[in-house]
Chain A
Amino acid sequence: MTIRARLIFWYAGILTVSLLVIGFGTYQEILERFHHEHRREPTEHALAETSEMVFQVGLPAILLGLLGGWWLTRRALAPVTELTEAIKKIHERNLRDPLPRTKNGDELDRLTEVFNGMLARLDDSFNRTHEFTLHASHELKTPLTVLCGETETALRDESLSVAERERAASQLDELRRLARIVYGLTLLAKADAGQVALKLEPVRFDELVRDNFADAQILAEPQGIRVELKGCEEITVSGDRHRLRQLLLNLADNAVKYNQPQGQVTMSLRRADGAAEFTIANTGAGIPPEVLPRVFDRFYRGDPSHSPTVDGCGLGLSIAKWIVSAHNGTIKIESMPDKITTVTIRLPLAQENKPHYEDMH
């Protein structure tokens, strides 16, 4: 029950009780007067007169009071409703924008002020976490550069035995994996801090998909996986070419990595509800339902027993999600374990340029 309804009920109750008290008082008063005047049957007359007063004056007064009360509570609680709407819109990225204040110094205004203070503190701590990740990934790069460089230099040493060479090469592989993780971390940290600018331009998405299809076929070949492109409509989206290619390759790579030998990958691009809809589906073990909501989380891998042989940086889908969101699109993933896993991305279409007829003769 809302505060307003509760207040109105209480208010109606109080008014009714006061009416009863007034009615009882009036009844006593009239009764006494009738006794003085030595009327016949004073009780009945007094009761009739009282109830007449109560019904003709008291009840309308109560109704009027209730109406007034309803209006008053509405007025008093309106700022709360506004506050609720404003708070609903708060998310991680707009913590900096304070809630609008009435500045009239009342309790709600004070509440808003305190709430804004809390937002500022939250924003501060979010920023500090972002900055920490950003600085950490920068700081990691210098020692990584030295390690990679020195290991590579060591590998060039002709006097190395086969075993030593193998060990150095294996170390270098791991160092490069580390470098990829740091790269992904830096990218996401920068994206969180709003420091990655996308170069948006009209991009023929179907061409990128076709390119990606060719690469996916090559990637899939060693495991005997079949790749199919089921429909590729001509679609122009507004996007950053490099990022979109990164996104597509990332998804194709996943579809091959998490597949089974002799499996299948199916892609399609079509126009749907005013958006470009790209789907990529793959066979394979799939993702258990309890893991599904968290696959976009950074470094989340679910039950390690599901993907023991797959190596990656654990940030691929987080990066994919960021790229899609940065293009004002959506990404979703559905999975029927041991059957098929489908990733669907939807990107807004580029503003169609209408042809100019004025210049035509």
Chain B
Amino acid sequence: MRVLVVEDEKKTASFVRKALQAEGFAVDVCHNGDDALAVARTTPFDGIVLDIMLPGRDGLSVLRQLRERKNTTPVLLLSARGEVNERVEGLNAGADDYLPKPFELVELVARVRALTRRSGENKSTVLRIADLTLDTVTHRAQRGETEIELTVREYRLLEFLMRDAGRICGRMMILEKVWDYNFDPGTNLVDVYIRRLREKIDANFEIKLLHTVRGTGYVLKETP
């Protein structure tokens, strides 16, 4: 997977590159819009991380140019202005996702992962990790032979975590996908739900599956 990062702030570009590389992506970096357009013309990318505020040609204009040229590479917009209106404007211009600054690296990585995920991957109706299974059609959850009762919200949370099993999921993305909140409500809602979910799927079992990654998010995996 090859990703283009367009960001004029050198330090931000640097840690974004590192984080994506750590995730197994090949990363190219550009510091302005015109370079980005030139590189995107010659190199096929699986995804583009595009900052809106760039010197010269800004991110939205780069995006419109790309789409005019029938370039359909998925684009994640980054913005320091960060407001609902801008999000809508970005999505209308052809962006696939939008992340306001300051963002959490985990969020950014998870979003790029989602963006570049090939269709057809993980389409199975029964999700499985260790002896935990979740049927996405009947909404039945089982750990071994034990049936687990889940509320609607808990089900959605577990499904989200299971689809990204083995990978760290950030709080903001959970809030967005499970609660449909596109703002940071500043509550510990996610933490409390995770605690409840943990009681249901982990408390009575020896192998713990749901882990907290201090400072970054949550991950569902067999080994801690």
Which residues of A come within 8 Å of B, CB atoms?
A: 138, 141-142, 144-153, 155-156, 165-166, 168-169, 172-173, 175-176, 179-180, 182-183, 186-187, 190, 195-197, 199, 214-215, 218-219, 221-222, 242, 245-246, 249-250, 253, 312-313, 316
Q: Chain A residues with Cβ under 8 A from B12's Cβ?
A: 142, 145-146, 149
Residues of B within 8 A of A (CB-CB), count? 40
Contact partner, A218, options B106, B181, B186, B196, Cβ 8 Å: B196
Told that A141-B101, A196-B85 touch, could you supply 15 new A-B pairs with CB distance under 8 A? A142-B80, A145-B12, A145-B103, A148-B102, A148-B104, A148-B105, A150-B11, A151-B215, A152-B106, A152-B215, A155-B214, A246-B185, A249-B185, A249-B189, A316-B186
- The answer to whether A196 touches B83 (Cβ under 8 A) is yes
Q: Which residues of chain A are near B18, meaning CB under 8 Å?
A: 153
CA distance A118 to B46 in the complex (A): 58
Are B192 and A141 in contact, with the CB atoms below 8 A? no
Closest to B105 in A: A152
Residues of B within 8 A of A156 (CB): 19, 22
- Chain B residues whose CB sits within 8 angstroms of the CB of A145 once the complex forms: 9, 12, 80, 101-103
Decide if A221 touches B101 in the complex (CB within 8 Å).
Answer: no
B97 to chain A, nearest CB (A): 17
Q: Are B192 and A149 touching (Cβ within 8 A)?
A: no
Q: How far is the CA of A199 from the CA of B89 in the complex (A)?
A: 13
Contact A218 B214, beta carbon cutoff 8 Å: no
With A155-B214, A155-B216, A169-B214 given, is the CB distance from A141 to B80 under 8 Å? yes
Given the complex, which residues of B lie within 8 Å of A197, measured CB to CB?
A: 85
CB distance from B101 to the nearest CB of A (A): 5
Q: Considering the chains assembled together, what is the distance between the CA atoms of A195 and B82 in angstroms? A: 12
Nearest Cβ distance between residue B190 and chain A, in whole angstroms?
10
Q: Are B83 and A249 in contact (CB under 8 A)?
A: no
Of B19, B104, B184, the contact of A183 (CB 8 Å cutoff): B184
User: How far does the Cβ of B131 sit from chain A's closest Cβ, in whole Å?
Assistant: 27
Contact, CB under 8 Å: A152 / B216: yes
Q: How far is the CB of A32 from chain B (nearest CB, A)?
A: 93
Q: Residue on A with the closest CB to B153? A: A214
Q: Does B193 contact A (CB under 8 A)?
A: yes
Query: CA–CA, A196 to B183, complex, Å?
Result: 14
Q: Is the CB of B187 within 8 A of A187?
A: no
In the complex with contacts A142-B101, A153-B18, A246-B84 CB distance below 8 A: no
Q: Which of A149, A156, A180, A197 has the most CB of B within 10 A?
A: A149
Query: Ordered nearest first, which 5 A-B pairs have the shortest CB separation?
Result: A169-B215, A145-B102, A141-B80, A149-B15, A144-B102
Contact flag A190-B102 (CB < 8 Å), given A155-B216, A218-B189, A218-B196: no
Task: Compute the total of residue contacts between A and B using a CB distance below 8 Å.
Answer: 120
Contact of A187 among B15, B83, B102, B106 (CB under 8 A): B83
Closest B residue by C-beta to A252 = B187
Q: Does B201 contact A (CB under 8 A)?
A: no
Across the interface, do B214 and A179 meet the contact criterion of CB distance under 8 Å?
A: no
Complex Cα spacing A242 to B83, Å = 12
With the chains together, A177 CA to B195 CA distance in Å?
22
List which B15-32 residues lie within 8 A (CB) of chain A: 15-16, 18-19, 22
Q: Across the two chains, which residue of chain B brings its CB closest to A176?
A: B104
Contact call A138/B80, Cβ cutoff below 8 A: yes
Q: Are B183 and A190 in contact (CB under 8 A)?
A: no
Select the residue from B9, B19, B187 with max chain A CB neighbours within 10 A: B187
In the complex, chain A residues whose CB is within 8 Å of the CB of B16: 149
What chain A residues lie within 8 Å of B140 (beta carbons)? none
CB-CB under 8 A from B67, the residues of chain A are none
Binary A-proximity of B95-132 (CB < 8 A = 1, otherwise 0): 00000111111100000000000000000000000000
- Distance in Å from the Cβ of A154 to the closest Cβ of chain B? 10
Instruction: Give Cα A142 to B8, complex, Å.
Output: 11
What would be 16 A-B contacts, judged by CB atoms less than 8 Å apart? A138-B81, A141-B101, A146-B9, A148-B104, A149-B15, A152-B15, A152-B104, A166-B214, A175-B102, A183-B82, A214-B153, A219-B189, A242-B181, A246-B181, A246-B183, A249-B189
Is B182's beta carbon under 8 Å from chain A? Answer: yes
Contact of B105 among A149, A186, A218, A246 (CB under 8 A): A149
How far apart sit A353 and B68, CA to CA, in the bound complex (Å)?
41
Interface mask (B156-190 → A, CB under 8 Å = 1, otherwise 0): 00000000000000000000000101111111110
